[in-house]
């Protein structure tokens, strides 16, 4: 009754082949990651040490560490998120929870989608014109952070909206039915149950802000900046600054006779900090998922 006809055998064979092709494609993602990380670490090995993190560059960037660049990148990430996170999350709450389908909200939606597609070099030019010159913030951390904030905003809005939309509508209706306002509903039910998605989306923007080079190159990042050692807040908001991505670019292209392992070590620091933050995002998501409540 269940004898294998040639037709059935062919079907099963195709199923197996399809599965292996898909699996191979998925697994091939591991290869570039391992190659990149492995290659970088091996080439960077001679320079990798804790000293490398906390030392100033020395001998015209040919020696020493990345301390000012590391601090600059942390500044950038924190400041740009401090601006874009509240605006993005609140805008997303409005768009997802309050907005009706009218021309204004369609316009906002269109702006968000298109802003997300603007290349970072265009953001850089915008930041240069708007913040460095028009707003007279100069070539500074503020200008660069604001530029990065505008660049990350649309993605934060999109990921937050997705997180909010994952809370079933029936929960909202149940709240409305007992006389809760929209805000009471959002505070009691919607936000507590979408916070994991919102935070994950925010944290993923950290790596983007840390990795971008063009926007900060145009708006405030410099080749070298001497900062006070031992001061945890060495930059003022209107100072120009060093950042890891920019530092890597200059080491690789502008500095002759640099010790070979130093650019690689810089890359490892950048990649390592980004992966660290992403791991934190994954950990947070796993933790919050484990307390998922329906």
Partner 1 sequence: MSEPHIVVQDLCLAYGPKEVIHGISFEVQRHEIFGIIGPSQSGKTSLLRCINRTIDFSAEAAVAGTITVNGQDVRQLKDVYGLRRRIGMVAPLPVGLPLSIYDNVAFAPRCAGLTKRSQLDGLVEHCLRQAALWEEVKDRLDSLGTKLSGGQQQRLTIARALSHQPEILCLDEFSIAIDPVTTMRIEDVLKELRRHMTIILVTNLTQQARRLANRTMFLWSGAIVELDRSDVIFSEHPASRKTYEYVNGIFG
Q: Which of 5, 30, 31, 293 binds partner 1 (CB under 8 A)?
A: 293
The DSSP line for 242-274 is --HHHHHHHHHHT-TT--THHHHHHHHHHHHHH
Neighbours of 138 (CB within 10 A): 16
Would you count residue 176 as binding partner 1 (CB under 8 A)? yes
Q: Which two tokens stand for residue 155?
A: 């993605």
Stretch that binds partner 1, among 47-55, 117-125, 133-141, 186-194 (CB under 8 A): 186-194
CB-nearer residue toward partner 1: 2 or 294: 294
Q: Of 83-91, 153-161, 185-193, 225-233, which part binds partner 1 (CB under 8 A)?
A: 185-193
**Of 277, 222, 290, whose CA–CA distance to 74 is shortest?**
277
Stretch that binds partner 1, among 56-64, 173-181, 210-218, 236-244 (CB under 8 A): 173-181
Nearer to partner 1, 152 or 185 (CB): 185
Of 184 and 254, CB closest to partner 1: 184
Comparison of 136 and 291: residue with beta carbon closer to partner 1:
291
Task: Measure Cα distances from 135 to 125, 149, 286 in Å.
Answer: 14, 16, 42
292 CB-near residues (< 8 Å, 6+ apart): none
Q: What is residue 136's three-state secondary structure?
A: coil
* Binding residues for partner 1, total number by CB under 8 A: 20
Specify the stretch interacting with partner 1 by CB under 8 A; choose among 67-75, 82-90, 184-192, 271-279.
Answer: 184-192
Window contacting partner 1 (CB under 8 A); options: 66-74, 179-187, 203-211, 270-278: 179-187
Q: Based on the shown chain and the rule CB under 8 A, indicate whether residue 174 belongs to the binding site for partner 1.
A: yes
State the nearest-atom distance from the C-beta of 111 to partner 1, in Å: 21
Closer Cβ to partner 1, 105 or 261, answer by number:
105
Closer to partner 1 at the Cβ: 119 or 168?
168
Provide the minimum distance between the beta carbon of 280 and partner 1 in the complex, in angstroms, as a whole number. Answer: 25
Instruction: Show the beta-strand stretches assigned E in 13-147.
Output: 57-58, 63-64
Alpha helix ranges (H) inside the chain: 6-27, 30-44, 50-54, 67-93, 103-116, 120-127, 141-165, 169-177, 182-185, 191-211, 214-219, 244-253, 261-290
Cβ atoms of residues 266 and 251 within 8 Å: yes
Among 6, 179, 230, 232, the residue binding partner 1 under the rule CB under 8 A is 179
How big is the CA angle at 170 (ends 164 and 173), to the nearest 5 degrees?
A: 95
Residues 163, 155: Cα–Cα separation, whole Å:
12
Tokens for 65?
A: 């560490």
170 binds partner 1 (CB under 8 A): yes
| Binding positions for partner 1, rule: CB under 8 A | 100-101, 170-171, 173-181, 184, 188-189, 192-193, 293-294
């Amino acid at each position: 009754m269940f004898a294998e006809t040639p037709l059935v055998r062919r079907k099963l064979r195709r199923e197996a082949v399809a599965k292996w092709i898909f699996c191979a494609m998925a697994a091939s993602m591991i290869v570039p990651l391992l190659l990149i990380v492995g290659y970088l670490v091996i080439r960077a090995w001679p320079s990798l040490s804790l000293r490398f993190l906390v030392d100033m560059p020395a001998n015209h960037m040919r020696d020493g560490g990345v301390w000012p660049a590391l601090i600059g990148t942390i500044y950038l990430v924190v400041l740009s998120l401090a601006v874009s996170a509240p605006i993005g999350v609140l805008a997303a709450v409005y768009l997802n929870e309050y907005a009706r389908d009218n021309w204004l909200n369609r316009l906002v939606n269109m702006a968000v989608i298109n802003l997300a597609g603007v290349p970072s070099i265009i953001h850089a030019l915008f930041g240069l014109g708007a913040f460095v010159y028009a707003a007279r913030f100069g070539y500074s951390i503020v200008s660069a952070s604001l530029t990065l904030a505008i660049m990350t905003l649309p993605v934060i809005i999109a990921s937050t909206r997705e997180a909010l939309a994952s809370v079933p509508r029936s929960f909202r209706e149940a709240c409305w039915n007992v006389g809760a306002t929209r805000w009471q509903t959002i505070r009691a039910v919607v936000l507590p149950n979408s916070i994991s998605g919102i935070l994950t989306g925010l944290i993923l923007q950290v790596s983007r802000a840390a990795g971008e080079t063009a926007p900060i190159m145009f708006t405030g990042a410099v080749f070298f900046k001497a900062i006070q050692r031992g001061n945890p807040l060495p930059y003022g908001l209107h100072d120009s600054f060093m950042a890891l991505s920019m530092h890597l670019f200059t080491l690789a292209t502008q500095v002759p006779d640099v010790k070979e392992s130093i650019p690689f070590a810089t890359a490892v620091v950048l990649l390592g900090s980004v992966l660290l933050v992403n791991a934190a995002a994954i950990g947070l998501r796993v933790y919050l998922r484990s307390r998922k409540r329906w």
